[in-house]
Amino acid sequence: MGDENPIRTLGDYSKPSHEGYRNTIELPVGNNVAPLRSDTIRLVQNGCSIHRLRSEDPIQHLKDFLRIIDSIDRNGDTRNTTQLRLFQFSLYDQAINWLDRRTAELRNDILRFQKRQDESLYDAWTRFKDLLLKVPHHGIDLWIQVQIFYDHVDSTTQMAIDYATGGRLRKLRSEEAWGTIEELARYENEGWNDPIFLEEGSLDYKNPDIEQLLGIMENHVDALMKDAISII
């Protein structure tokens, strides 16, 4: 039998898949989550429902919701999970549509991310991560996050990432690719004297010399050739 959990690279993830999109609120995964009791759901629906009418106060809705959560679950380890599972039952009519639209808007901000002109790698990377934090239930897999960032930065930043990965970003696991960009951004921000990717000749990606650029191009060509051979 094959490996049930094979190591997958960015290139593997980019292939077509049958996996669909996730719920607006990402629910916990696991067999240790007890089913919600019907009377608990009714308690939320009757005690703090909101329809997003002009006469309703969304701040008061949240206060009432948290008060009910306090009466249901005071365990710090499970409280957040309880909130996520029950919050959707406090919404009705336009409030449900608002949640879906707001999630879609924030998710689109991530998908449409673009590095600004003259923005440093560190600032762009920080801003991108801030977008992810605004909607933790975005449902965007890590490999897609890495691909979005790479595809929407300028060519010099892409060259820096290519150089750091030896031109084989798509051959890395998602966590490795994310970690490489994280280290590269931190290196730029802190201005370390010792290069972290190579012992000699770290890339000056703002003013790369021709030999460094040729090396990156050679790595790209080598990676493409190996991909082509693997397909044949």
Tens-place pLDDT, residues 128-152: 999 998 887 788 899 999 999 999 9
Do 51 and 112 sit in the same domain of this protein?
A: no
Q: Residue 61 and residue 83: Cα distance in Å, rounded?
A: 13
Round to whole Å and give the CA distance between 178 and 152.
15
Instruction: Tell me if 220 sits within 8 A of 166, measured CB to CB.
Output: no
Both 86 and 116 in a single domain? no
- The pLDDT, as a whole number, for residue 21 is 47
Domain that holds residue 144: 104-231
Report the DSSP beta bridge partners of residue 173.
Answer: 9
Angle of helix 121-134 versus helix 155-164 axis, rounded to 10: 90
User: What's residue 56's pLDDT?
Assistant: 78
Question: Would residue 114 be called left, alpha or beta, if left means φ above 0 and alpha means ψ between -120 and 50 degrees?
Answer: beta
Say what the pLDDT of residue 201 is. 44
Give the residue from 92, 123, 138 where a domain finishes: 92
The 10 Å Cβ neighbour count of residue 203 is 23
Query: Is there a domain that residue 135 lies in?
Result: yes
Nearest alpha carbon to residue 182 among 115, 109, 128, 220: 128
Q: Which residues of the chain have pLDDT under 50?
A: 1, 18, 20-21, 31, 192-203, 205-206, 210
* Total number of domains in the chain: 2
74 and 155 inside one domain: no
What pTM was computed for the model?
Answer: 0.59
Q: Among candidates 112, 106, 182, which has minimal Cα distance to 139?
A: 106
Among 92, 125, 159, the domain-final residue is 92
The neighbouring-strand residues paired with 9 are 173
Identify whether residues 42 and 135 lie together within a single domain: no
Regarding whether 129 and 76 lie in a shared domain, the answer is: no
Give yes or no: residues 57 and 114 share one domain: no
Beta-bridge partner residues of 50: 91
Question: Does residue 182 share a domain with residue 76?
Answer: no
Decide if 111 is inside a domain: yes
Which residues are CB-neighbours of 73 under 8 A, at least 6 positions away? 79, 82
User: What would the DSSP string read from start to end of 122-191?
Assistant: HHHHHHHHHHHHH-TT----HHHHHHHHHHTS-HHHHHHHHHHTTT-GGGSBHHHHHHHHHHHHHHHHHT
- The CA distance from 164 to 33, in Å, is 42
Backbone φ/ψ region at 167: left (φ over 0), alpha (ψ -120 to 50), beta: left
Domain-located, residue 121: yes
With contact defined as beta carbons under 8 Å apart, do 160 and 180 qualify?
no
Whether 125 and 219 share a structural domain:
yes
Structure-derived torsion over alpha carbons of residues 13, 17, 23, 24, reported in degrees to the nearest 10: 60
Return the pLDDT at 75.
75
